Structure 1
Amino acid sequence: MADEKREIERKYESDDSGLPDLTGVGKVATVLDQGVVELDATYYDTADECLARHAITLRRRTGGSDAGWHLKFPVAPDVRDEIHAPLSDTLPRSLAALIRSRVRDAELRPVVRLRSARDLRHLVDADGRLLAEVSVDEVTADRLAGPGEGGKAQWTEIEVELADDVDPAFLDKVEKRLRKAGVRPSASPSKLARALAETAPPEKKREQPKTAAEPETAGDHVLAYVRAQRDAIVELDPAVRRDEYDSVHSMRVATRRMRSAFRSYGKVLDRTVTDPIRDELKWLAGELGVDRDREVLTERITTALGDLPRTLVSGPVRTRLRTWANARRGGSRRRLIGVLDSKRYLTLLDTLDALVADPPLRAAAAGKPEKVIAKVVQKDYATLSTLVEQAIELPPGHDRDLALHEARKKAKRTRYAAEAATPALGDPAAALTKSMKSLQNLLGDHQDSVMARQALLELAALAHAAGEGSFTYGLLYGREEQRAAAVEAEVPGFWESAGAGASV
């Protein structure tokens, strides 16, 4: 069973002067000597070091109070999420799953061994509460594989790790004292990064890190957008597996953005290549959204129910709603993990990598972005304009509902096309993106009302069959009708004032 924690720490270079006295820093009342701990860690990566490239570390460590397997993901400067699993001879499946989107079918191998003599102190306040752990680590690194195999390095560093539930600003106070004593922040974000750098062969050390070239052509801009969505899908995979808040929705949005780019920019990227990928992205989005739509409806109806006076709530409406909401939820989490472990999903990731590495560019890709990309956005906007105007002219009812739903989908696509165009076209595209997001939200509220009314009819039928009253469902249905009518009345004025598309 894996345990998770958020690690907030800073590393510093250490010289012969050692660690200055930290008593009196912030609320530090006492510095408790915890003795010296011997740590022995082996770090694993693929032959091309894909984990290290993305600042992800995987190690098996003995010694200390947390011996076992540790997997760390970067969150922000000085912040990483650490997942810990018990010590075993082989990598636990729970951790292997979290790096599958990066590793795929590649073999993991030991790349670096780090042995550290850790002189540990606890910084505690007057009540004995732990504020931070501070250690002086004497590190020996051995390169086990890859460039520089057989190389060695040694250094001493100071590490300050914040205790749970302590204000991160405390680290600033500790750093101020350290700097005053001549201690400086480490140039490396982790021990592994330093070991890889210091054991690299001379020619590797002389290599300058590659920086992405500034987009120049229409193809450059579209590919930058597609690459960003590919990266988002891969990076969100561990978060989805860990059931982090909004991770499923965020991954689903990344698939939509990429599908939209493929369709809108068909004159830049060959659709005979991208259409099959769009189909696979649509499949993935569908799997990610198995529970999402029902969750949205449940939240909407629950909120509406909460707005009703108690005297208008007739029968076990809340219980009925909970039962309905959970009816298809059983096993869906296991199903989603199964999708992320499937050959089909991993093949899709490989396909996206191949597309980004060798894009199927068409002739327009070499064109100037202000011409090629602007034309695409203007075309999408013109199509949306026609759809909105046609929907407005229809009488209220089923046909108008469908037309507004189609307009919403086109608004979303126009938004994503403008979003991709913003680095090239600047403020006009950014303004259109904002306008289309507002329209999408407005029409989305209308579509949610349509779906909520369908759900309320289903709930009323279930209640009636069980001998329960259906008055409250009818009341909520009527309120949803009023809400939808208000949106429909708002659309013409909104659209008239949203003429940003003409300026792109």
Structure 2
Amino acid sequence: MAERHLEIEQKYDAAAGFVLPDLDGLPGVASVGEPEVHELHATYFDTPGLRLAAARITLRRRRGGTDAGWHLKLPAGPDGKQEVRAPLGRPLIVPALLAGLVAAHTRGTELSPVATLQTRRTVVRLLDADGEVLAEVADDLVTGQGGDAEPERWREIEVELGSGAPELLKSTGKRLRKAGAKKAKSSSKLGRLLGTVPAEAAARRTAARSRITAATSNGKAPSITIGEVVLAYLAEQADAVIRFDPDARMGEDDAVHRMRVAVRRTRSTLRCYRPVLDDVRTAQLGPELRWLAQALGEVRDLEVLRMRFQGAPAFLLDDLESQEKAAYRRLNAGLKEQRYFTLLDDLDRLVADPPFSAAAEKKARKELPGFVTRAWERMAKDYASIKTSGDPDTARHETRKAAKRARYAAELAVPVLGAAAKRVVGDAKRIQGVLGDHQDSVIAMQHLDAAGKSARTTEEAFALGVLYGNEQCEAEKAKNLLSTTWSRTLGPSF
């Protein structure tokens, strides 16, 4: 069974003769515990190309100390890492759960030992008046070896926050630096041992976004091409898919939804900005992105229903929970498929070698208003069809999808078009929100109607009927609100 927690720490390099300073008197610290010494042996695992190290991820099996076992550390902010732990198990067999959480990076490539570290660790704990651990200060003497290289030896100090406030991390670091320690050059022991590992795909995604940020902040937006803006947006979405992948696999709150939104934004961009891209080279991405969105959507729809039906009869909630667990199993199975890894590779190539058409060289400031306006007009056409459609619920659903596309088309344009594009984003988002509320009620009513056939007592049937009536009211409210919301939108004005 895996454990996980957020690790917040800072590291410092220290010379061989460094003396740990007196740590009494730090904010909130009532006492300092007696030093404890541990002998640690860690084996680090990665792909032959060090893909995990390139993504600032560490995976190790460590013996000794109070937390022996497998440790996976995923980046979580400048000083934070999300750590997932598993029991020691077998020395060379990475636990399946941990291997799955990094699969978006390894993509089927085998994980094997790449380095070993021997650490003599001296730990002192900073305690509050009740004896609770506010932080731990670890003085490490490290011997590390990567591959066939000669062993390296160094000393470093780690300060890991426990229940203390972030200010304690800062004040402890200040005292260590005053005693002669220096801010560590690497955020991990493995990083120090292996040196800088090129993260080519991630670097390209970052560079694509940075170019737009720098140009707009320096007043050089007129020089940006529409191809560059499209590329930056696509790079941002590719990053998001990989970033939310581990949390989606673990069922963390909102992770599936956010990963799904990134997929949808990518699909929408390929569709709305099709003239900027080479259809031949992007054709295979559409169906694959749709497949992934559907796998994520199955889970997300059940999550939404579960949240809507709080207080419903137990049999309904139990059934929803069972369906949701099954959907998660199917999602996790899909995220292990080569099909998914191939899609991630294709997204990397999309950013590395953008499939631009000749139109991509045109100036963004001149071309973007037309793209955003056309996306809005398609939404307006779908909205108008609601009144004439023989199936207005389907027409509303299509309008909702068109509103998302208009929103994403305008989002992409914000760095260049500024407030005018932001206003379109806000208008489209409001339309999407109202139609989303209606669609959620429609799906809920369909589910309640099906569940009613399984009601075992009149009480259960009555409770389901009450819920159904509530959803009918919510659907009508959304329909009535739609026309008001639409009348308050101005549409594009560039």
1:312 alignment partner in structure 2? none
Give the CA deviation at 1:259: 0.8
Is the Cα–Cα contact under 8 Å of residues 298 and 321 in structure 1 kept in the other structure? no
The one of 377, 380, 394 equivalent to 2:375 is 380
Separation in 2, partners of 1:231, 1:336: 19
**Cα separation, 2, equivalents of 1:264 and 1:447:** 23
Matched residues in 1 for 2:95 and 2:278: separation?
42
Q: 1:274 matched to which residue of 2? A: 282
> Is structure 2 residue 160 aligned with structure 1 residue 161?
yes
Partner of 2:450: 458
Corresponding position of 2:228: 220
2:75 equivalent in structure 1: 74
| 1:407-462 per-position Cα deviation (integer Å, ceiling 9, x unaligned) | 11100011111112222322211221122111100111122222333334334444
Superposed counterparts of 1:62-461, under 5 Å: 62-87=63-88, 88-90=90-92, 91-144=94-147, 150=149, 152-163=151-162, 165-197=163-195, 212=207, 214-215=211-212, 216-302=224-310, 318-326=313-321, 328-329=323-324, 331-391=326-386, 393-394=387-388, 399-461=391-453
Q: 1:153 to 1:382 in 2, by over 3 A?
A: same
Shift in Å at residue 380 of structure 1? 0.6
Which structure has the larger Rg? Answer: 1
Q: Considering only aligned residues, what root-mean-square deviation do their CA atoms show, in Å? A: 2.8
User: Alpha-carbon deviation of 1:339?
Assistant: 1.1
Cα distance change on mapping 1:125 and 1:301 into 2, 3 Å? closer
Measure how far apart 1:324 and its partner are. 4.8
Over residues 219-275 of structure 1, what are the superposed CA-to-partner deviations in whole Å (9 max), with x where a residue is unaligned?
Answer: 121122112222221222211222211111111111111111111111112233323
Partners of 2:479 and 2:58 lie apart in 1 by: 52
Aligned-partner residue type, residue 8 of structure 1: I
DSSP 3-state at the match of 2:154: strand
Question: Do the aligned partners of 1:262 and 1:271 also contact (CA within 8 Å) in 2?
Answer: no
Is the CA contact 1:115–1:139 (under 8 Å) kept in the aligned structure 2? yes
Structure 2 residue identity aligned to 1:172: K
Larger displacement relative to structure 2 (293-302 or 80-89): 293-302
- Partner of 2:9: helix, strand, or coil? strand
In structure 2, the residue matched to 1:311 is: none
Q: Secondary structure at the match of 2:134?
A: strand
Distance 1:230 1:159, change over 3 A: same
**Alpha-carbon distance in 1 for matches of 2:134, 2:57:** 26
Question: 1:356 and 1:469, CA in 2 relative to 1: closer, same or farther beyond 3 A?
Answer: closer
Amino acid at match of 1:38: E
> How far apart are the structure 2 equivalents of 1:64 and 1:324?
44
Contact 1:10 1:159 in 2 (8 A): yes
Q: Which residue of 1 aligns with 2:490?
A: 499
Provide the C-alpha distance between the structure 1 equivalents of 2:3 and 2:452, rounded to a whole number of angstroms.
Answer: 44
Structure 1 residues 322, 93: CA separation in 2 closer, same or farther (over 3 Å shift)? closer
2-side partners of 1:386 and 1:178: how far apart? 65
Of 103-112 and 249-258, the range deviating more from structure 2: 103-112
1:324–1:459: 8 Å Cα contact kept in structure 2? Answer: no
Structure 1, unaligned runs of 5 or more: 307-316
Which residue is equivalent to 1:13? 13
Letter in 1 for 2:246: P
For residue 484 of structure 1, what is the aligned residue in structure 2? 475
% identical aligned pairs: 44
Task: Name whichever of 434-443 and 211-220 sits farther off.
Answer: 211-220
The answer (yes or no) to whether the contact 1:122–1:134 under 8 Å persists in 2 is yes
* Cα 1:414–1:242 shift into 2, 3 Å: same
- AA aligned to 1:227 is A
Q: Does the 8 Å CA contact 2:430/2:485 hold for their aligned counterparts?
A: no
Paired amino acid for 1:403: A
- Return 5+ residue gaps in structure 2 as ranges: 213-223
Cα distance per residue 1:56-88 (max 9 Å; x no partner): 012233332323322110111221112223333
Letter paired with 2:56: A
- Measure the CA separation in 2 of the matches of 1:245 and 1:434: 25
Check the 8 A contact 2:14/2:180 in 1, yes or no.
no
SS at 1:220's partner residue? helix
* SS of 2:391 mapped into structure 1: helix
Contact 1:101 1:234 in 2 (8 A): yes
TM-score, with length taken from structure 2: 0.87
1:298-336 Cα offsets, whole Å, 9 max, x none, are: 43344xxx6xxxxxxxxxx62353255346345333222
Change (3 A) 1:84 1:481: closer
- Per-residue deviation, residues 200-237 of structure 1 (Å, max 9, x unmatched): 9xxx9xxxx99726143211211221122222212222
Distance of 2:128 and 2:322 partners within structure 1: 51
SS of the counterpart of 2:76?
strand
Contact 2:52 2:58 in 1 (8 A): yes
How far has the Cα of 1:154 moved from its partner?
A: 3.2
Tell me if structure 2 keeps the 8 A contact 1:364–1:372.
Answer: no
Alpha-carbon spacing, 1:86–1:483, altered in 2? closer, same or farther (3 Å): closer
Separation (CA, whole Å) in 2 of partners of 1:293 and 1:120: 47
Distance in 1, Cα, partners of 2:407 & 2:449: 33
The AA in structure 2 aligned to 1:254 is: A
- CA, structure 1 residues 435+217, in 2 after alignment: closer, same or farther (shift >3 Å)? same
Letter of the aligned partner of 1:348 in structure 2?
L
The residue matched to 2:25 in structure 1 has which SS? coil
Classify 1:100/1:500 alpha carbon distance in 2 versus 1 (closer, same or farther; 3 Å): same
